[in-house]
Every structure is written in structure tokens, then in C-alpha cells.
Amino acid sequence: MSETVMPAAQPEGPVLEVSDLTVTFPGLHGGATVTAVDRASFVIGRGETLGLVGQSGSGKTTTGRAVLQLQKVTSGSVRLLGRELVGMGRKPLREMRRHMQFVQQNPYSSLHPRLTIGRILSEPLEVHRTVSRARIRERIVELLELVNMDPKVVDRYPHEFSGGQRQRIVIARALAVNPDFVVCDEAVSALDVRTQAQIVTLLQGLQERLGLSYLFVAHDLAIVREMAHRVAVMYSGQIVELGPSAAVYDSPGHAYTRLLLDSIPVPDPAIQRLRLRNPLPDVRFVDSNPGPCAHAEDHATTGTAPMHMIGPDHCVSCRFQPQPR
């Protein structure tokens, strides 16, 4: 790895800085515009994992794609290694792609079925020219060893591997260009629980060795707890809670976070029986009306973000308070 070009040195600032990221989609059949991501702001430091959780349709995948500039950003800013990606020209953006990579959910469809593992791994190396042609073979061996796979597999095809092995190959491909930042979108969701645990361990080990920063998008809160240093909870396109994982999981500040945590089935019969006996709170989370919020602040007039600190580095939105149905 010594030969590869180091990123434009930015040792002090965060690796990723997202502020007021908004993505809207045109409505169906001329209907109202849909705001998939609504003024999301967060930072990710070097070697840090930010977990992004929320139910399907909450905007977490769109956030990941918008950060990677795979989705058109409506407004807001995404700075990677100090450089603004929103509105960046094609060529410079292509160069920046070397620093940011994507690992997606389905290891069955994200590998080309007709290419050998060797071809799959050499492609990013050729595109981004991070190593000389002569060194490509050597680098592929390095990459496979990095994800704990036997380098002898280079001439085999994706279908010869299990889901977990395929996901290792996808990770190796993402790491080929020595990225600083990887978006993992439901990267372990399709895998069995024991395989999940192995991939989580692998991702953590790689983070430690390579100083990677992750945006770890998942609906499974337990996996995110394992992976993330800090976690953001999304609801209806907005981040409703953001803080250190321990704080968010152990003393959640937002009612929606609490509902999510209380809904996870735990492998303890006594607790689960008790939970199933209790009816779920019949509430809806409605975006609050204009006017003073629960913290007596009128964000519409002050122009401040509807976030309130409730602990060190731990903030909660005053929007989407539960209301009885």
C-alpha cells in the first residue's frame, strides 16, 4: 500500500462534513415534491463510524447516496477531506471518488457474474491508476489477504462463493483505491447472523488498520450498536437524534428512538413475553406546527436548526413529537 498516493493532507479537520443536506424528488404524476432528506447535518472524523438508522423510507439510503454524489443534491453542502463535492465538475469529482467508496447490501447483484475475482478487483485500480500496471497483480493479492481470503481465488467467478465471501470481495474492491471514507449501506443485512458477525469484525479490523471512516447505514439497531461510535436516527427525512452510541442507546432522548429500541425483539423469553403483553403506544410522530417548540424556541423566527443538546455531543430534534392517534 506504500506506493499509493496519499490523500491531499487534511489531518486536522473531519473526513466528512455534511451540512443542511437536502434531497427532494419530484412528486408522482405532478404531485407535491417529496423531501427525502431534510437538512441533515453531521460530521465523521478519521477512523470513526457514524451509524445511520431509521425505518424503510426514512431517507437513510438517499443520504448515503447523496453524500457520494450518486444522487443529485437539492441544497446543502458535502465536504470530503475539506473539498466541497456539491456542484463539483465531473473530472475533479471523479478524482475525489478514489477517496470515497460504497459497499451495498446485496453481494449477489453487486459483482459482475461474468468477471473473475481478479478482473473485478483490477478494474478500480485501472480506472483510478492508484498503482502501476506492473503492480496490479500484487495489489490484488494484497487486497484479498486484507479481507482474509485466499489469493488463489483470483481466477474464480462470483457464483462460486457464499454471500459472506462475496461481501468480502465487494469490500476488497471498495478498498482497492485506498479510500478514506466508505458508505456501507445495509452491508451485512442480507447475511446470516454468524456471517454478519464475521463481516462486522472484518470492517472493524480494517478501520483500525487503515484509519477508515464509515457511514454505516442499517435498519438493524443491534448491528449499528456493534459498529458505530456515534449514531444518527432518521425519521421522515430528518435526523431526530444524534450522539455517541452509548448515549443514544442507553438514554435515548427522542420518543421515536425509544420506540425503535423498545421494538427490537431480544432473545430473552421473560422480557419478550412481557413486551408482547403490553400494547404498543398508539402514537404518530407528527412534524410539529410552527411556533415555539418543546424547548420554547421558535425556530422559524430564529432560523436555528431544531436540534437541542441534551448531553455531551448528544442532540435531539424537537420535531416529530408523539401524538395520540
Partner 1 sequence: MSAGTPLLSVRDLTARIATHHEIVEAVRGVSFDVAPGEAVGFVGESGCGKSVTARAIMRLAAEGTDVRLDGKILFKGRDLLTLSDREMGKMRGRQIAMVFQDPMTSLNPVMTVGAQIDDVLRRHTDLYGRAVRARSIELLDAVGVPDPARRADDHPHQFSGGQRQRILIAIAIACDPDLLIADEPTTALDVTVQAQILRLLMRLREERGMSLLLITHDFGVVAGMVEKVNVMYRGEIVETGDVDTLLSKPQHEYTKSLLAAVPRIRVAGAIS
Q: How far is the CB of 140 from partner 1 (least distance, A)?
A: 30
Closest to 304 (Cα-Cα) out of 313, 292, 321: 292
Of the residues 115, 153, 210, 259, which one makes contact with partner 1 according to CB under 8 A: 259
Q: Any contact of residue 8 with partner 1 (CB under 8 A)?
A: no
Q: Which stretch binds partner 1 (CB under 8 A): 86-94, 142-150, 261-269, 291-299?
A: 261-269
Judged by CB under 8 A, does residue 51 bind partner 1? Answer: no
> Is residue 278 part of the contact set for partner 1 (CB under 8 A)?
yes
* Cα–Cα dist 19/40, whole Å: 6
Residue 158 C-beta: closest distance to partner 1, Å = 18
Q: How does 50-88 read in b/e, with b if 16+ C-beta sit within 10 Å?
A: bbbbbeeebbbbbbbbbbbbebebbebebbbbeeebbeb
Contact between 320 and partner 1 (CB under 8 A)?
no
Instruction: Indicate the residue among 152 and 284 with the shorter CB distance to partner 1.
Output: 284
Name which of 137 and 219 has its Cβ closer to partner 1: 219
Q: Does 55 bind partner 1 (CB under 8 A)?
A: yes
Please say whether the beta carbons of 232 and 51 come within 8 A.
Answer: yes
Burial pattern 109-147, b for ≥16 Cβ within 10 A else e, equals ebbeeeebbbebbbebbeebebbeeeebbebbebbbebb
Out of 261, 292, 297, 308, name the contact with partner 1 by CB under 8 A.
261
Interaction of residue 214 with partner 1, rule CB under 8 A: no
**Binding test (CB under 8 A) with partner 1, winner from 87, 205, 265, 311:** 265
Q: Is the separation of the CB atoms in 73 and 19 below 8 Å?
A: no
Within 10 Å of residue 168's Cβ, how many Cβ atoms? 24
310 binds partner 1 per the rule CB under 8 A = no
Positions touching partner 1 (CB under 8 A) are 55-56, 192-194, 196-197, 200, 219, 221-223, 225-226, 249-250, 252, 258-276, 278-280
